[in-house]
Chain A
Amino acid sequence: MRVLLHAVPWLAAIAAYFLMPERLPLLSSIAIAALFTVSLDLIVGYAGVVTLGQAAFFGAGAYTAGLLAQNGWGEPLSGLLAAAAVAAVLGLVTAPLVLRSGALAGLMVTLGLGLMLYEAANKAAAITGGADGLQGVEVWPVLGVFRFDLYGQTAYLYSLAVLFVLFWLAKLIVASPYGLSLRGINGNPRRAPALGVPVKTRLTVAYALAAAYAGVAGALLAQTTAFVSLDALSFQRSADGLLMLVLGGLGSLYGALIGAAAFTLAHHALSEASPIFWQFWLGIALIALALYGRGGLMGLLRKLMPRGAGS
């Protein structure tokens, strides 16, 4: 029963590939948003460090992969690894600043870092293309075989495969003793040191890990759209990610998947139905969910399921 439940989202994702062959660009953007939300869940949901600057890592990854591909190295998988490495290093460097002070001050630091990186990318127009975006990104076929096509088939399957691997890696990490110690820190930050848990180190690693995940998500966007713009670093992206996470439910990686899918689909359906007033309806839906659906969509699902079936 449980195995089946775990297979449901992936079966749905593969079914969507066959059922909506004309919707693949949207589906790819859902997969990428889901990976970004998983990265936020790791740091916000599990480690309990709230951030408003996760887009900094998303953008760093996007620009890393984009610049590599622009300068003659368009191999996608190594591009993802490079993006993860750059984002992780950026995470390691900035973690002490964020974790140094209390929750609210840390939040402000993440916001500041995000804005600084945005402005830096804007000013470094010679490298990043500034407000016009990165031009001439040429990504090679995945594994040397699958070319990125107009219908977005490769883009979707590639994004989905990366999401699948990294999702299960995240599952393993949060179930490991390390993951449990993160939950412990989140549950009672004062008590954790008394138990001999090195809080700072654990949180720093979590911050860098989440950064690497966000970097891969950014790299996926850069590679599948062959374009990077400043919007990859924007505050809006960080905020949307948090919305998706809260919508889906904090602290359960499935919540990240559901939240990203629900938010992106609703966003898309509403903006198509009403190009001018869609933001109003989206706002109404979010408020309604916040008032009536504690624990997000994942919380709703749990209530509906028989006890012990969920994970």
Chain B
Amino acid sequence: MTTLTRRAAILSAAALPAALARPALAQSGDPFRIGLVLPMTGPFASTGRQIDAAIKAWLRANPAAVAGKRLEILLRDDTGVAPDVTRRLAQELVVRERVRALAGFGLTPLALSAAPIATEAKVPMIVMAAATSIIPQRSPYIVRTSFTLPQAVRPMAEWAAKNGIKSVVTMVTDFAPGLDSEKAFKEAFSAAGGNVVAEIRTPLRNPDYAPFLQRVRDLKPDALFIFVPSGEGSALIKQFSERGLKEAGIRLIGTGDVLDDDILNDMGDAVLGAVTSHHYSTAHESRENAAFREAFKAVAPDMRPNFMAVGGWDGMHLLAEALRRTNGDVDGTKLVEAMKGQSWTSPRGPVSIDPATREMVQDIYIRRTERRDGQLWNVEFDKIQGVKDAA
């Protein structure tokens, strides 16, 4: 027994470096390799799974080759919490796997840590999720197909000011994106003539919203603006209705990631009537979105594509279109140039890439959570067209 185990251990130990040293597999037809770095495990795994599924769906729904080059995806898991791993994986994908583009990047620090690799290797880096404004400034090779927080927050503030909401209490989670949205909301709302009565910050870990919500009730604002990590949304909104804030005439507004489509259906009736602003809702009605949902369903039948997925889908479209425009030239600088100014109709609606900032210019929709066919949906009822990143 012991000898056997021992031998097995040695054998597997010996096989490991051999497996690592294995040269890149020879491929036919000169593929265009894309290094996809996403959090597939850990607390942000849902981001990774959404984007991964969307990219698989895109590859199924579109021709396998662009300008004579087959698109090939190499997926790596960076666990979502270790920027040095993200950086190392990006470096390895460029150096060892000879990828011609990097894509994915779930969170801001992960994207920032990989930015110097894109600059040095001169490969396009498509940021499909991370949402802090500063990211594209870190490398001229970064193009973003998701959104930025101010992009979603400002239209919410402006819409609120125009629709009879005069006083607002903001309640955000005490971490970088929360503070960003608090600041953006206050600026935009004050500029539009509204009044932010109080700014409340809740702790990131194990928050109990009851005392904060009681304070909101006592302050009696017209509306409560919330920004919390998407998984927290349901707990907060449940307490919002249990504490009777709805009956007290306080409206609930926020950004769409609080009512993430991925988990919206499990949040229950408490979220009905919440008004949020975002660039994508699965319920968006268009031919492109129907095709997107169809393709996504074929890959991941149990999931509803959310705003992360649409970022992945559009990222693939952008990259493929750039490759077509350069006639298969894989030079990174030319590819990024070909991406600037592109405009197309995405599942989320008409979008374009701002040539100056390499950010999405997109419509931001105002949605209300409703029940349709027994399921919860964010139904769009108003929109602000062509919103740029204003930060």
Contact = CB atoms under 8 A, between A and B. Distances in A.
Interface of A: 16, 19-20, 22-26, 29, 125, 130-133, 135, 150-152, 221, 225-227, 229-232, 234, 236, 262, 265-266, 268-269, 271-272, 275-276, 278-279, 289, 292-293, 297, 300, 303-304
Given A135-B112, A229-B113, A231-B82, A269 B19 contact: yes
Interface in B44-83: 45, 49, 75-77, 81-83
A292 B13 contact: no
Contacts of A232: 84
A177 to B, nearest CB: 36
A278 B92 contact: no
Contact of B21 (A19, A266, A272): A19
A26 B77 contact: no
B16 interface: yes
A267 B5 CA distance: 21
Chain B: interface size category: 35 or more
B372 interface: no
Nearest to B45: A276
Interface of B: 2, 5-6, 9-10, 13, 16-17, 19-21, 40-41, 45, 49, 75-77, 81-84, 87-88, 91-92, 94-96, 108-109, 112-113, 116-117, 120-121, 132, 134, 138, 175-176
Contact of A276 (B41, B109, B116, B138): B41
Tell me what chain A mostly uses at the interface: helix, strand, loop, or mixed. Answer: helix
B96 A292 contact: no
5 contacts: A26-B20, A26-B92, A132-B109, A225-B113, A236-B82
A225 B83 CA distance: 10
B108 A226 contact: no
A275 B77 contact: yes
A16 B17 CA distance: 10
A125 B120 contact: no
B16 A265 contact: yes
Given A22-B96, A150-B120, A229 B109 contact: yes
Given A131-B176, A132-B108, A25 B83 contact: no
Nearest to A229: B83
Contacts of B121: 150
Contacts of B5: 292
A151 B6 contact: no
Contacts of A234: 81
Max chain B C-beta neighbours (<10 A), residue from A20, A26, A132, A300: A132
A225 B88 contact: yes
A275 B21 contact: no
A33 to B, nearest CB: 11
A132 B75 contact: no
A276 B10 CA distance: 26
B20 A269 contact: yes
A221 B85 CA distance: 11
Contacts of A278: 41, 77
Given A25-B95, A132-B112, A133-B113, A268 B20 contact: yes
A269 B138 CA distance: 30
A292 B49 CA distance: 36
Contacts of A135: 112, 138
A22 B92 contact: yes
A279 B95 CA distance: 26
A272 B95 contact: no
B109 A265 contact: no
A227 B40 contact: no
Given A130-B176, A131-B108, A225 B87 contact: yes
